[in-house]
Amino acid sequence: MKAAVSTIKIVILITLIVTSVYQTSRLWFDDQSDPNLFYRVFSSSALENLEAMRDAGNLITPKQLGVYLGQPNLEYTVVKKGVTHYESLRNESIKILTMGLNKDYYIGTVDNLELLWGNQHTSIHLDFPLEQDIFARNLGIPLNAVNSIKSVETILIMPAFRNEIWLNIFLEDQVTGLYHHYQVPRSEIVISNDSLVYQLSNVIASGSKTSFISTLKNNIPYYSKHLLLPLPSENNRYHDPVFMRIPFLSNGVVNIPELDGYVSLYFDNPDIMKAIPLENEVRYVDGNVVVRYNIDGLLEYNRIVKENTASTSLTLALTVANQFIEQDSQRMPTEYFLKTYIQEAQRTVFYYDVGFNDYSFVLREEVKQKYGMSHAIEVTVSGDKVIKYRRILRQIDDMNPQNKTLQAKYEDVLDKVIVEAGTLDVEIDEMYLGYSWHMDKMEMSLHWVVHYDGIPHFYPVD
């Protein structure tokens, strides 16, 4: 009896002690996410973090997510990131890819894509072409499922509607330009299929949309792949011009106290960081990090590390790069779009455009020359560390109200391209709307950016 009572006492005591320690730690650290001893014990979000990590480094993220409206409109619209249906459309499409791309469902290459123009579907345009092994690894599918495809950039997914038995997936091989067809029984992917059908109907039911014309459906020559081009629209309004300024400058010199706050982000121990003013530049140094900022608004971060000899997976490298930019953009808000990457030895360099309202800021040749950069952000990753980060800093100062409606006529731009190229034999790799500016000018306006002969060309929108 006595023993039983003392056992109960001990249990109650232990419970009380544990609770008190937990409560105290909460009081002390405000939040579990602060580095404290109990973080791992009480944190249930560890799994979510892993999931988020995987997401941050996933290369199967659409640069553009097109929805074919089917009858009666027969054109595409583009669902922008952050808009209501974006997440679910993307997620269901990727789930369908993961489950549907299987060698058993592979039919072969097709010339006739008529099937696609009968019903609604999504058209996913990746940031850049992915080689078959990278594509398979990122999707988590066996390599033999995409055996006959060299590299993927455009993916079209047409779910099975109502009583239909098959859903269809088309992958455009970026190397050969051929379309590979997979026909998957709906019964294999019922939930994702029906969910995609539902999301598509939501997009169609939602109000005013900008129409996009498909170079594939309309068989428009001059394009090397499936592109969606915006059509003139009264609903699509944009700011023009947009005025910017170089941050942390006053009267042409770097404002060190202002810059201190921003730069401290890059140091493990900001208290010992010290500014060294030089001509046209301020430098901060500690044991292994050097940060430079010059009056042209170029920020450069270098971390001296013993370089890993083992190469890092692309996914991990991208995760590291994305997290670094994410951290940076909390101080200096920006939209950023991954454009391309280079892998050399154990280093991976990622190139991003920054942008605004989903339009990229595209660097003209003269601006590239001046900064020695091809894109506004360059991140070099080695191992699990960012060893070099360069960014052209610009802040939007002021802009004209969003009162211009999009009158973009792609066919007029094509005329100019043909005249400029002096031949009908032009192959356009990319064509989109983006802001650009002339060197040293502090205002930007919207342009058509057309990539051919390997370089971007700029044409005014109106």
- Residues found near another protein in the complex (CB under 8 A): 71-75, 107, 110, 112, 114-115, 117-119, 162-163, 165-166, 181, 183, 211, 213, 217-222, 231-232, 409-412, 414-419, 424
Return the number of the residue (157 or 314) whose C-beta is nearest another protein. 157
Separation in Å, CA 35 to CA 31, 45, 266, 337, 436: 9, 14, 19, 31, 43
Half-sphere exposure of 113 toward its Cβ, with a 13 Å CA cutoff?
22
Nearest-approach distance from CB 96 to another protein, in angstroms? 18
Return the number of the residue (417 or 449) whose C-beta is nearest another protein. 417
* Rounded Cα–Cα distance for residues 405 and 408 (Å): 9
Nearest-approach distance from CB 115 to another protein, in angstroms? 5
* Rounded Cα–Cα distance for residues 198 and 116 (Å): 18
Return the number of the residue (233 or 400) whose C-beta is nearest another protein. 233
**What is the pairing mode between strands 249-250 and 233-238?**
unpaired
Return the number of the residue (220 or 439) whose C-beta is nearest another protein. 220
Nearest-approach distance from CB 220 to another protein, in angstroms? 7
DSSP 303: E
Instruction: List the one residue out of 397, 352, 378 whose CA is nearest residue 249.
Output: 397
Return the number of the residue (112 or 309) whose C-beta is nearest another protein. 112
Nearest-approach distance from CB 446 to another protein, in angstroms? 20
Q: Return the structure tokens found at 92.
A: 């269901």
Residue type for position 390: R
Q: Return the structure tokens found at 99.
A: 């489950």
Return the number of the residue (44 or 163) whose C-beta is nearest another protein. 163
Nearest-approach distance from CB 234 to another protein, in angstroms? 12
* Rounded Cα–Cα distance for residues 369 and 42 (Å): 52
Nearest-approach distance from CB 199 to another protein, in angstroms? 18
DSSP track, 23-34: HHHHHHHSSTTS
